[in-house]
Structure formats: C-alpha cells, structure tokens
Chains A and B, each alone.
Chain A
Amino acid sequence: MPASPAVEIVGLVKRYDGRAVVDGLDLVADRGAVTAVLGPNGAGKTTTVECCEGLRSPDAGQVRVLGLDPTADARTLRPRVGVMLQDGGLPTGVRALEMLHHVAAMYARPRDVGELADRLGLDGFARTTVRRLSGGQRQRLALAAAVVGRPELVFLDEPSAGMDPQARRAVWDLVRELRDDGVAVVLTTHLMDEAESLADRVVVVDHGTVIAHGAVADLLTSHDDRTLRFSATPGLDVADLAAALTAPGGGGEPGGPAGAAPAGPAAVVAGAPEPAVREVAPGDYVLTGPVDPDVLAALTAWCAARGVLPHRITVGRRTLEDVFLDLTGRDLR
C-alpha cells in the first residue's frame, strides 16, 4: 500500500486555447516529504497542481495521486487529500472560524478546530467575516481548512503569499510538523527562501516543463561554486568583465578542472561552469562561478581601471535563485 509515491506525474500536458501551459512535465513527490514546485508566475505550477486535485483533466500524460486517478477516483481521494487554493476559495460572507468548522464537518474525524486555530493564530479574527480579513489571514484560514480533515497529502498553492514574517513562521512550522507525521506536502512557490528552508526536494518548473529537480542541498552544491554580488553604476560591460576575471588565472582555466559539466548525484542541473556576470537589475551585478581571492582582486582592479567604485560586495554560497538564474538566464521574481 505505501509503495506508491504520493504524487507521480509522467508527461503531463495541459493546453488552454491550444497553447500548452504544461508541456511534458514529470514529477514525483514522496510521502513524508515536502516537495516544492518552484518557478516564476505562469510557469504552469498551479495548472499542474490542479490536475492532481481533480480540478482539471490532463490533455496528455499520466497523473497518479496516492496511486489513484484524480478524476476517476475523486470520491476516494477527496477525504485523503487536503487542498489550499491560490485564490483561497473561501466564501466571503461567513466568519473565519465558522468556515473552518464547516469544512471540518465534512470529515468523520477532523482535527480539533480550536487547536488548529490556536496553532495558526486564527483566534484574533475568529469572528471576523472572511470579506474583512487581510490576505495573510485568509491564507492561514485556507491552510487550516486544507489540513483539518487529517489528509495524507496536502497541496498548498503559494501558501505564504501575503503573510507577515510571524505568520509565515507559523505556517512553516505546521508544514514541517505535517511532514514529520508522515504527510506528503506538495507546495508551489516563487519564493526562494521558502523552498530553500522548507522543502526536502525542489522541482524547478519553467515554461511548463521541469528544468531541474533534486534535493535542495544537491541543487545548491552541484557546482562547487560561490556567488559574488556587487552594486555599481548601471551599464558596465559585463562580457569584458567576465573575460578579465577568467584571463589572469583567477580560478582555473575555462572549462573547469577535470571533466566538463559535473552532474550532482541526485540533482540534474545544466549550468555554465565558467564565471558569468549578469546585471540582474540596473546597477546590481551577480557573478557566478568559481570565486576566490584572485577573482575578487581582478574584479576590483577592473573596476579601478574604469574609475568605478563597486559597493555592497558580498560573497556567498549559491542560492536557489542563483541556480534558477543559471538555468533560465533570468531573474525569478
């Protein structure tokens, strides 16, 4: 019985008006793990999740949820799968806690509503109508509704959008606790820090297909690279800078030490091995690749020769954002 993964998607295709929003997507989410589906807006995250929830039918490909078909076995799956929609889906005229009690009444053995309200800080607005709640308050209520029935699997679409830091922490704690109880959590997000701190596995989606997937740690270390960020006057010649950084031997010959493109153990990432410099926003530069003292010296020398004062220079480990940048060549947000 527990042999099948929580979610198994093979070659999913979904078209709207002939345009493929999801285009040959594969995804596996394990039980007792948090799987983050990460990608920019319009990447196909929500559509993918809605196909798993039985709200949309795929145009091609196979979707299995807890080993079952989301459409044909919907009746069996509904009590076992919790759903938090991106737009909340809460009726606006009822009071917050009344809504939660209502959803709880659909289950034979729901969680204790009072305890859940306490956990997610719903008591402060228990008697407020949904219409008057802030975005973050609605999100917490929707999350409570998704888990009140003790599901084996929960889909959370952008769970912490619009939340203040404390609320987000409460949400993250609850998600971790669900995971520790053996619940499979599939969440979509475009927030890097959320995916990085919450997910066991990350699936990076863009243009309806998976462009990278793996454990977060593997994705981040699949290139033994660091990131250097700095600010300066906008419009620097980044190609010339990159060439200058490579030339003086600041971090090995172009092409990398031993073999080309090293593939991580569980991670599949196609990246650029040599130093690359990008102006991610006017005046904000990101250098990815091998960063060592020589590279830093070369950078400041290059700037000094042009009378440019770089500031806010930071050297750090790669973030998921850097990975995404490498993969797509553009900023996620």
Chain B
Amino acid sequence: MSAATQARPGDGVAAPAWRRVLTQTAFETRAILRNGEQLLITLVLPVLLLLVLTRTTVIELDTGGGTRVDLVAPGVLALAVMSTAFTSQAIATSFDRRNGVLRLLATTPLGRGGLLAGKVLGVLVVEVVQVVVLGAVALGLGWDPAVAGIGPAALAVLLGTAAFTSLALLLAGTLRAEAVLALANLVLVLLAVAGGIVAPADQLPGPLSVVAGALPSGALGEAVRSALRDGVLATGPVLVLAAWTAALSGLAARLFRWS
C-alpha cells in the first residue's frame, strides 16, 4: 500500500520518439494479424487465389510463353499489398476514428505524427509477412522470379503502399465507419477482378484495358510484374503510381478529420 503511490507530478516524461513509434508499429501490426477478417483478406484470400490461378485454368490467362505461376505470383503480391495498404487500413482507421482511438492516442506523447508513422510502418511489416508467406507458396509452385527485379519491385510496392494508404486514410478520415467497411471491400473486389492488378490490364476486355492501366491497381500490378518477370523497372506504371500518390496524399492531408 505504501509503495502504491510513487506518482509525483512533473514525472510525466515522454519515451524517446523512436520507441513510441516502434511501440505503435507493433501494436498496429498485432491488431491486423490478430483480426480474423483482416487476416482473411490480407493472407488467406491471396494464398487461395495464388493456388487457384496457378493450378487451375478456370480463368484463361495469356502467359506469353512463360509459366502461369511467373505471371500470377507478382500479381497476387500486388493484390496483397493493396489489401493491406488500402482495405485493411481503411477499415481499421475508420473504426479507430469512430471509437475515439485517434483522438485519445493524439493526446498521449505519441501524438498524431507518431500515430500516422506507426500505422504506415505497421502496414509495411504486414507486407513483409505477406511477401514471405506468398513468396514461399509461389516458390513451392515453381515460381522463378527475376532476381534483378527485386529492387524495382520493392520500389513499386513502396509507391503502391503510399498511394493506397493515402486512399485508405482519405476514406477513413471523411466517411462513416460502416460506409468505409462496405466501400473498402467493394473496391478491393472490383479492382481485383477488373483493375488490372492480378490479370494484366491489356488482357481485360474492351475499354477496361485502357482504364485499368491508369488506375493505381493496374499500375502497381504492371510494375511488379515487369520487375519480377523481366527484371526491369517499368517507368510508365511507376509514374502513374507517383501521380496517384501525390494526388491522394494531398487530398487526405486536406480532408482527413480526426474525430
């Protein structure tokens, strides 16, 4: 009982910034990996998609002479990035906003900047987990990625993450949580089917092939495929991603509301 009160006013001192951000990163990562629905869209569905698209010919793909897995694996990786950076993050942040979590953490030494940094780093950590799991499954299916393309692929993933996290924050910071939940899942499905992310944009029917290439999904899919199939940096898609990142992050910064 006597030791119960060591609290002295004035002892309130913040932990170092790096520790605050790392703590928040670990917290955000655990929150995603522990949540059943989040795990479903970030890991289970991409793995299933990888297996189905590689092992069956339910969906016809023009592999251009290469193996199916060499075409499919980069696209599924891009989809996985989109599910984490966009859908998962949009839903988590919108509910945090509705529940006052963003406001509460903003009053701790973490602050708004630390909270944002923790969220972005949490997304990147989950993406590393996705790359490891999906990469292992793909290699088991006979995937033969271009080693020279690992650098360009990482750049594409970083840019894609920036673009899709910006979009996630734009939705989460402006719409009701229930609306974000519905919209984020719907957009994920639409982009997965017709956004040029898994199936190359130029293999989509009609005008979709043009539109999809200009979408962040199509650009991310194309950039990762070019990198891991041919070992090259696809300038066009990278520029498209950079433009989307600039536009979406600018909008998010202006319109995001914390409460």
Footprint of B on A, CB under 8 Å?
Answer: 31, 53-55, 74-75, 78-83, 85, 87-94, 102-103, 105-109, 111-112, 115, 119, 142, 145, 147, 149-152, 177-178, 181-183
Q: Evaluate whether A89 and B8 lie within 8 angstroms (CB atoms) in the complex, with A78-B111, A106-B14, A108-B15 already known.
A: no
B254 close to chain A: CB less than 8 A = no
Let me know if B247 is at the binding interface, CB within 8 A: no
Asked if B5 is at the interface (CB within 8 A of a chain A CB), the reply is: yes
A106 adjacent to B20 (CB under 8 Å): yes
B190 at the interface (CB under 8 A from A): no
Judge if B104 is at the interface, Cβ distance under 8 Å: yes
A-B contact pairs, 14 of them (CB 8 A): A79-B13, A79-B109, A80-B10, A80-B12, A88-B99, A88-B100, A102-B27, A106-B20, A108-B15, A109-B13, A145-B104, A150-B12, A152-B9, A177-B5
CB-based contact A181/B12 at 8 Å: no
Q: Which B residues form the contact surface with A (CB < 8 A)?
A: 3-16, 19-20, 23, 27, 30-31, 34-35, 95-96, 99-111, 258-259
Task: Please tell me if the beta carbons of B23 and A115 are within 8 angstroms of each other in the complex.
Answer: no
Residues A112 and B110 in contact, CB atoms below 8 Å apart:
no
Closest chain B residue to A111 by CB distance? B7
Known A78-B107, A88-B99, A115-B4: A150·B31 in contact at CB below 8 Å: no
| Assembly CA distance A197 to B31 (angstroms) | 40
How many angstroms from the CA of A103 to the CA of B101 in the assembled complex?
A: 12
What separation, in Å, do the CA atoms of A248 and B173 have in the docked complex? 67
- 12 further A-B contacts with Cβ under 8 Å, apart from A31-B9, A150-B9, A152-B10, are A55-B258, A83-B108, A85-B103, A94-B30, A94-B31, A105-B19, A108-B13, A108-B16, A115-B3, A150-B10, A181-B8, A182-B9
Residues of A within 8 A of B102 (CB): 89
Task: Please give, as numbers and ranges, the residues of chain B lying within 8 Å of A88 by CB-CB distance.
Answer: 99-100, 104
Which chain A residues lie closer than 8 Å to B109 at the CB level? 78-79, 106-107, 149
Instruction: Tell me which residues across on chain B come within 8 A of A94, comparing CB atoms.
Output: 27, 30-31
Q: Are A149 and B12 in contact (CB under 8 A)?
A: yes
**Contact across chains for A54 and B14 when beta carbons are under 8 A apart:** no
Q: Chain A contacts of B111 at CB under 8 A?
A: 74-75, 78
Residue from B9, B20, B104 in contact with A83 in the complex, judged by beta carbons closer than 8 Å = B104
Are A93 and B31 within 8 A (Cβ)?
yes
Contact indicator A90/B101 (Cβ below 8 Å):
yes
- On whether A106 and B15 interact (CB within 8 A), knowing A54-B107, A93-B35, A183-B9, the answer reads yes
In contact, A108 and B14 (Cβ under 8 angstroms): yes
Q: Which of A83, A106, A177 is packed against the most chain B CB atoms within 10 Å?
A: A106
Chain B residue contacts of A115, Cβ below 8 A? 3-4
Interface SS of chain A: helix, strand, loop or mixed?
loop
In the bound complex, CA of A136 to CA of B57 (Å):
56
Q: Given the known A-B contacts A85-B103, A88-B100, are A106 and B12 also in contact in the complex, defined by CB atoms under 8 Å?
A: no
Q: How far is the CA of A35 from the CA of B101 in the complex (A)?
A: 26
Contact, CB under 8 Å: A92 / B14:
no
Which residues in B have their C-beta under 8 angstroms from that of A92?
Answer: 95, 99
Q: Could you tell me the distance between the alpha carbons of A119 and B7 in the complex, rounded to whole angstroms?
A: 13
Bound: A79/B104 CA distance, A = 13
A75 vs B108: C-alpha distance in the bound complex, in angstroms?
9
Chain A residues lying within 8 Å of B110, measured Cβ to Cβ, are 106
> What's the minimum C-beta distance from B227 to chain A, rounded to whole angstroms?
35
Complex Cα gap A136–B34 (Å): 25
B6 / chain A contacts, CB cutoff of 8 Å = 111-112
> A115-B4, A181-B5 are known contacts. Are A90 and B104 too (CB-CB below 8 A)?
yes
Judging by beta carbons under 8 Å apart, are B101 and A89 in contact?
A: yes
Contacting residues, chain A, for B5 (C-beta < 8 A): 177, 181
A263 → B minimal CB distance (Å): 34
A78–B108 touching, CB < 8 Å: yes
Q: Is the pair A107, B12 in contact by a Cβ cutoff of 8 Å?
A: yes
CA distance A149 to B8 in the complex (A): 10
CB distance from A134 to the nearest CB of B (A): 16
Q: Across the interface, do B7 and A147 meet the contact criterion of CB distance under 8 Å?
A: yes
Cα A178 to Cα B8 in complex, Å, equals 9
Among B3, B8, B27, B104, contact of A150 (Cβ-Cβ < 8 Å)? B8
A91 touches B31 (CB 8 A): yes
A89's contact among B4, B11, B27, B100, by CB below 8 Å, is which? B100
**Cα distance A182–B10 in the bound complex, in angstroms:** 10
Minimum CB–CB distance from B33 to chain A (whole Å) comes to 11
Q: Is the CB of A152 within 8 A of B104?
A: no
Closest A residue to B23 using CB positions: A105
Give the residues in chain A near B20, CB-CB below 8 Å.
105-106
Interchain CA distance A40-B152 in the complex, whole Å: 60
CB contacts (< 8 Å) of B19 on chain A: these are 105
Complex CA gap A93/B39 in Å reads 13
Q: How far is the CA of A75 from the CA of B103 in the complex (A)?
A: 15
Q: Which of B9, B12, B106, B258 neighbours the largest number of chain A CB atoms within 10 Å of its CB? A: B12
Contact B11 A55 (CB under 8 A): no
Residues of chain A contacted by B34 (CB below 8 angstroms): 93
The one of B4, B7, B108 that contacts A103, using a Cβ cutoff of 8 Å? B108
Measured between beta carbons, the chain A residues less than 8 angstroms from B107 are 53-55, 78, 81, 83, 85
User: Which B residues touch A55, using CB under 8 A?
Assistant: 103, 106-107, 258-259
CB-defined contacts of B15 to chain A, threshold 8 Å: 105-108
